[in-house]
Amino acid sequence: MNRLCFFNKVVKVARGDSPPFDLASLPPKEQRDLIGETLFFMVEELEPQFAPKITGMILELDQDKVLHLLVTPKAFKEMVKEAMEVLAHSFLQQMKIARGKRC
Amino acid sequence: MAMVSGRRSTLNPDAPLFIPAAVRQVEDFSPEWWQLVTTSTWYPDYWISQQQQGADGFYDNGENENGGGHIDVADLLPESFDFDDMEDFFDTDAAEFDQGFDGRMYYQAPSEFGFGKNGEMVKKSSGNRSPRSIVEPAKYAEKPAKWGNQRVAAAPRNIHQPR
C-alpha cells in the first residue's frame, strides 16, 4: 500500500496532474529521497539482490530522466539491465586489480 | 564512466547504496529486523557488511600488528612458553598454598636457593602472563575475521582463474 501510494504520487507529478502535494516544492534532498523510495521498490522487483546498488546508480542520473524511467516500464527495465552489465564489468575490473596486486 | 561492450554508459558503478528510510530506521534484532533478514534477499548481506565496517577498525589494528614482524614471534612464543607457563602456574599455586598455610615458609623463602629461584620465576611468569592474556584474546578474535576475508577473496580468484 505504501509502495502504491508513493508510486501514484510520482506518476501524477510526472504526468502533470494536480496531485495533493507538489514534488517541485520539496527541497532537493527530499525530492531525491522520495524518488529513491519509489525507484527502490521497482528495482527490487527486477533485481532483488542488487536493489540498493542499482537504485543508487540510477539516482545519480538527471532527475528528469529518472522520473521518465518511473513511468516508462520498458526504458526502466533496460536501464536496470544496463546497470547490471556495468556492475558485472566493474566487478571483473576489480578482480583484475586484485590479481595484479597479488602478483 | 564505465565502458560496456564499447558502449559508454552514464551509470556509475561506484555509486553509494540507496537504502530505504524505513529500512535504515530498523533496530538490530527487532521483529522488523528479523522479518527483513528472512524475507529480503539483499538485506542480510547489507547488514553483515555494516557490521564488518564496524569491525574493520579493530581488524586493521590487528592486521598492522600482525603485519609487522610479530607474526613469526607470536607463532613461536606460545609453543615455547606453554610448557614453562604450566610449570610456573603449578609453582605459583604451591607458593600461594605455602604462604596461606604457614607464614614461616614464606619468611624462609629468600634464604632457600631453590625456592628463591622459583620465586623469581614466578615473578617473570607473572610479568609475561599479563601481556599474553591480553594478546591471546585479540589473536583468537582476529583469526575468524581474517579467515573469512581470505575465503571471500579466494573464491572470486578461484572462479576467475582455476589452477
CB contact under 8 A, A52 and B21: no
Please state, in angstroms and rounded to a whole number, the distance separating the CA atoms of residues B125 and B71: 22
* Domains: count for chain A: 1
How distant is the Cα of B3 from the closest Cα of chain A, in angstroms? Answer: 8
Q: Chain A residue with minimal CA distance to B20? A: A37
- Does B156 reach chain A within 8 Å, measured CB to CB? yes
Q: How confident is the model at residue B56 (pLDDT cuts 50, 70, 90)?
A: low
Residues whose CB falls within 8 Å of the CB of residue B118, separated by 6 or more in sequence, listed in order:
B91, B95
Please give the Cα distance from A27 to A63 (Å, whole number). 13
pLDDT band at B158 (very low <50, low <70, confident <90, very high): low
Percentage of residues of chain A with pLDDT beyond 70: 76
Average pLDDT, whole number, for chain B? Answer: 59
Range of the domain at A61: 3-102
For residue A70, name the pLDDT band (cuts at 50, 70, 90): confident
| Closest CA–CA distance from residue B140 to any residue of chain A (Å) | 26
A97 at interface of B, judged by CB pairs closer than 8 A: no
Q: Is the pLDDT of residue A88 over 90?
A: yes
Which value, in Å, is the radius of gyration of the alpha carbons in chain B?
Answer: 27
Touching A: B residues 33-62, CB under 8 Å: 40-42, 45-46
Task: Give the whole-angstrom CA distance, residue B147 versus residue A96.
Answer: 22
Residues 6+ apart with CB under 8 A from B24: none
Cell of B133: 592474556
Residues of chain A contacting B36 with CB distance shorter than 8 Å: none
A103–B contact, CB cutoff 8 A: no
Cβ-defined contact of A61 to B10 (cutoff 8 Å): yes
- Is it the case that residue A29 has pLDDT exceeding 60? yes
Residue A10 has pLDDT above 70, yes or no: no
* Chain A touched by B162 (CB under 8 Å): no
Partner A contacted by B64 (CB < 8 A)? no
Nearest CB to A36 within list B12, B18, B42: B18
Alpha-carbon torsion, ordered B83, B84, B90, B92, to 10 deg = -160
Helices (H), B14-112: 21-24, 31-39, 43-65, 71-101, 103-108
Using CB atoms, pick whichever of A33, A44, A61 lies closest to residue B21.
A33
Q: What is the CATH number of the domain that holds A33?
A: 1.10.1900.10
